[in-house]
Structure 1
Amino acid sequence: MADSSDSVSIDMEMYSPRGKEHLIRTSQGIVSVSVFGDPDKPALVTYPDLALNYMSCFQGLFFCPEAYSLLLHNFCIYHISPPGHELGAATMSPDDPVPSVDDLADQVAEVLNFFGLGAVMCMGVTAGAYILTLFAMKYKQRVIGLILVSPLCTAPSWTEWLLNKVMSNLLYFYGMCGVVKELLLKRYFSKELRGCAQVPESDIVQACRRLLDERQSSNVWRFLEAINGRPDISEGLRKLQCRSLIFIGEHSPFHSEAVHMTSKMDRRCTALVEVQACGTMVTEEQPHAMLIPIEYFLMGYGLYKASKVSVSPRSPLSPSCISPDLLSPESMGLKLKPIKTRIPFEV
C-alpha cells in the first residue's frame, strides 16, 4: 500500500516504531496521514481541530497508557492532518483553490481508498469532527461509528463567523501572531489551564503555543476559510446509520452546539458525555475522562477485551459515574444514554 508513486513514506517513532507518515496525493492536493498499529486490525481515523495536527490534538489521549493500550489493541490508527498542517509542512501554493468542507470530506474517502479500507471508526475534534460527520453523511457505508469531541454541525453563528473573520484577516496579513494564538488557545482550553496574571498557564497550553508557532499561517488560513463557510448539516444527522459518542467540555465555547447536535441525532444510538471543568479539547485537557465511555462504546462492536489493569486513579471517571442503562449489554449497540462525568474539586 505504501509503495505507491503517489505517496512518500517517512518513518516515525512517536507511539510505535511501526508508525509511518504517508503523504498521499488526492484530487484536493497532498494530505498527510500518520499510521500506527497493525494494518490488519479495524481502522480508526482521526481528524484534528483548526491549526492542529495529531500531535497537538490527540497526543494527550494517546499518551495516556490506558487509552493507548485500549485503542492500539483494537485498531490501526490513521491520523489525517488537514492539508498543510503536518509536522514540517511547507507553505501551500497561493494558486491552489481553497477547499470546501465537502472537498475535505471527499479527501477522507480518497485516503481510505488509498489504504484499501472499507468501513472505519472515526474520531474528530471540533472542525475535524464536522469533517468526519459530513464524511459519514456522504459515505454512510464507510463509517461504523463516530467519536466526536466538541463537534460542530450548524453554520457559524454571527459571533463565531465574525471571530473567524478576525482570525482570518490577521493570519492573512500578519501570520501566526500573538493575537491569533491567544484566540486559538481560548478556543481549545478552559480558563483554568490558560491561567491569568496570578496563575501561570499550564504545561499543556505552553506546549500547544509552541506547536502553533510551527504552523504555516497561510495553510491555517485555508482551513479556517473552509470551516467558516460550512453549511448547516443538522437536518441530515438523524439519517446517520452509525452509533455516536459525543464528548463536550463544560466550558467549551461549542457546548450548546454539541447539545444541539445530540438532540438532532437518533437518541437510540447516541450518547453525550459532558466533562466538567474542561474546555473544548477534552483529548488534551481531560483524556482520562474519555477512557471508560470509549471502553463501553467499543463493547457494542465486540472490539474491547477486558484488561487486567485497573482504572487509573487519575481518572475523573469511575463505573459508578455511568448511567446503568449505558452499561447494560443490550444497550451497548442499541441505546446509549446521556451521561456526565463528575470531577472532584480539591480545595
Structure 2
Amino acid sequence: MVLDDNEDDSVFELQITEQQVDTLYGKVYCTIAGLSKPNCPVILTYHDVGLNHKMCFESFFSHEDMQEIIRHFPVLHVNAPGQHEGAVSLATEYIYPSMDQLSETLPTILKHFGFTSVIGFGVGAGANILTRFALNYPDLIEGLVLININPNAEGIVESVTSKITGWTQTVTETVIAHLFGKKEIESHHDVIATFRHDIMTYMNESNLAQFMRSYNSRQALELKRPVPGTNHTGRTLKCSSLLIAGDDSPWLEVVVDCNSKLDPTRATLLKMADCGGLPQVDQPAKLTEALKYFVQGLGYMSSSCMTRLSRSRTTSTSSVMSTDSGRARAHTDELQRGLWSAHRRARSHTDSSVDGISTNHTGSKPERC
C-alpha cells in the first residue's frame, strides 16, 4: 500500500512486485516498488556492469531522504539479462544482447507493466542503455539522470588494456577497477571489500563476463550539440538531463565531455566533491536533493516538498560534504542555483532555460503527481 500525499511520511508500506518479462532478447528480471499513478511517470533504473539493481540502487532508494520521492513515483528496477541475484547461467546458445538491443527491451517492459512515460536513472552501462532508449524513443522519456555516462565506443588503447587485464585479473577485480577510481581503491578499503564480496557472492560470473563484453563492444552514441540558429539534424537528447560524476570517479572526464555534446538548454552537469565512482552510495542525501530539484523542474511533486528540501539544504553541506572543502560547497551551490532557478521558472510557465535546465517543455505542464 502506498499512502496518499497528506499522510505521514514515516508510516507507509511500499508494495514490491518481482517479475520476469519476455523480450526479443531474452527474459528480463524486473522489480517494481510502489503503484502506478495516473499521469505520473515511472522512475526506471538501470545498473552498471558488475552490479544488479539491489547492489546498485537498494541503499539509495532506502535512504530516508528518498522516501518523499518514492511516495510520488513508482520505481521500476530493470536488470540486464542474467545479472539479477540468484541468476542461473545463461544457455550456451544464448547470444548476449548489444547495448542497442538491451535498450530495445525497454519498450516491451514498459508495455508489459502499463507505463507510458519514464524518468530514467542509470549508472555506467545502465546510463548508456537509457541514453540509447531516449534517443530512439524520445516521446517516452521525460528526463534522464545519468551517472558516469560514457557515450564513446571503447578505444583501441582501452580495448587492448581490457584484453590484457582480462588475462591477468579476475572478473571481480576488473569490475572493481571499472566502478572505482584509483584513489578510492587505495583508501576506502572497507567499501571496496564489501563490493568485492557482493560481486563474488551474488553475481553469476559467467553472465557478468558476457554483459561486460557487450558493454566493451558498444558503439559510440554519436551525440552532437545543436548549434543555435542552424537547422541542426544531429543526434541529441531532447529531454532534460542531469549528468553526474564524483570528483574521484574514473569517468569524470568522459562525463564532462559528454555534457559538452548535449544541448546546453536541456543538460546540467553535476560534479560531486568528495565523492567517487558511486555517488548514490557515497552521498545519497546530496544526490537525493539534486533529484528533488530535477523532478520539480520537470513539473512534478508538490511545492510543499520544498519546505522539507530547504531544511535539508541547511544541513547537507555540513553533514554530507566535508566542511573544509570549498569546492564541495561551490559545486553544491551551483547545482542548487541552477536546478532551483529552473524549478521556479518552470512553475512560472516561462519559455527559456536557466543554467542548463530546459524549461520550455515543462512550463506549461500542470502539477500531476
Q: Residues 269 and 334 of structure 1 are in contact (CA less than 8 Å); yes or no, is this contact kept in structure 2?
A: no
For the structure 1 residues 57 and 237, does the alpha-carbon distance in structure 2 shift closer, same or farther, using more than 3 Å as the test? farther
Counterpart in the other structure of 2:293:
296
TM-score by length of 1: 0.82
Cα distance in structure 1, aligned partners of 2:165 and 2:13 = 36
SS at structure 2 position matched to 1:267: coil
Secondary structure of 1:227's match? Answer: helix
Aligned with residue 219 of structure 1, among 207, 211, 223 = 207
Q: Is the 8 A contact 2:265 2:356 kept in 1?
A: no
Who is 1:50 aligned against? 49
Ranges of 4+ aligned residues in structure 1 off by more than 6 Å: none
Deviations 1:158-207 (A, max 9, x none): 3432343345567xxxxxxx7432332232234454345xxx612x3333
Matched with 1:128 is: 126
Q: What aligned pairs does 1:19-168 form with structure 2 within 5 A after superposition?
A: 19-40=16-37, 41-67=40-66, 69-166=67-164
Q: In 1, are the aligned partners of 2:181 and 2:250 still within 8 Å (CA)? A: no
TM-score after normalising by structure 2:
0.77
Confirm or deny: 8 A CA contact 1:137 1:236 kept in the other structure. no
Aligned residues: 313
Separation (CA, whole Å) in 2 of partners of 1:295 and 1:278: 19
Match of 1:10 in 2: none
Within 5 Å, give how 1:295-314 maps onto structure 2: 295-305=292-302, 306-307=304-305, 309=308, 310-311=311-312, 313=316, 314=319
Question: 2:192 aligned with 1:201, yes or no?
Answer: no
Q: Distance in 2 between matches of 1:182 and 1:115?
A: 36
Q: Quote the sequence identity (%).
A: 25
Asked whether 1:337 is paired with 2:336, we answer: no
Residues 297 and 339, structure 2, Cα contact 8 Å, conserved in 1: no
* Structure 2 gaps, min length 5: 1-11, 227-235, 322-327, 358-369
> What secondary structure does 2:353 align onto?
coil
Q: Is the 8 A contact 1:167 1:180 kept in 2?
A: no
Residue 266 to residue 157, structure 1, CA distance change in 2 (3 Å): same
2:280 maps to 1:283 = yes
Cα distance in 2 for residues equivalent to 1:150 and 1:39: 28
8 A Cα contact 1:70 1:304, kept in partner: no
Aligned partners of 2:354, 2:196: CA distance in 1, in Å? 36
Cα distance in structure 1, aligned partners of 2:338 and 2:199: 41
Given that 1:112 and 1:118 are in contact with CA atoms closer than 8 Å, whether structure 2 keeps it comes out as yes
Q: Could you tell me which residue of structure 2 aligns to residue 233 of structure 1?
A: 221
Shift of 1:26: 0.9
Mapped partners of 2:157, 2:282: distance in 1:
25
Q: Distance in 2 between matches of 1:16 and 1:152?
A: 36
Instruction: State the secondary structure of the residue aligned to 1:58.
Output: helix
SS in 1 for 2:254: helix
Closer/same/farther in 2, CA of residues 269 and 155 from structure 1, 3 Å limit: same
Give the drift of 1:331: 6.1
| Superimposed CA distance per residue, residues 21-59 of structure 1 (whole angstroms, 9 cap, x where no aligned partner) | 111111100011111012224201000000211111112
Q: CA-to-partner distance for each residue in 1:46-79, whole Å, 9 max, x for gaps?
A: 0000021111111232122102x13202210000
The Cα of 1:325 is off from its aligned counterpart by 4.4
CA distance in 1, matches of 2:219, 2:248: 25
- In the TM superposition, 1:162-201 aligns within 5 A as 162-166=160-164, 179-191=170-182, 193-195=184-186, 201=189
Residue of structure 2 in register with 1:269 after alignment = 266
TM-fit CA distance, 1:97: 1.2
* Distance in 1 (alpha carbons) for counterparts of 2:340 and 2:14: 36
Distance 2:356 2:273 in 1: 14
Residue 115 of structure 1: how far off its partner (Å): 0.9
What code does the residue aligned with 2:160 have? Answer: L
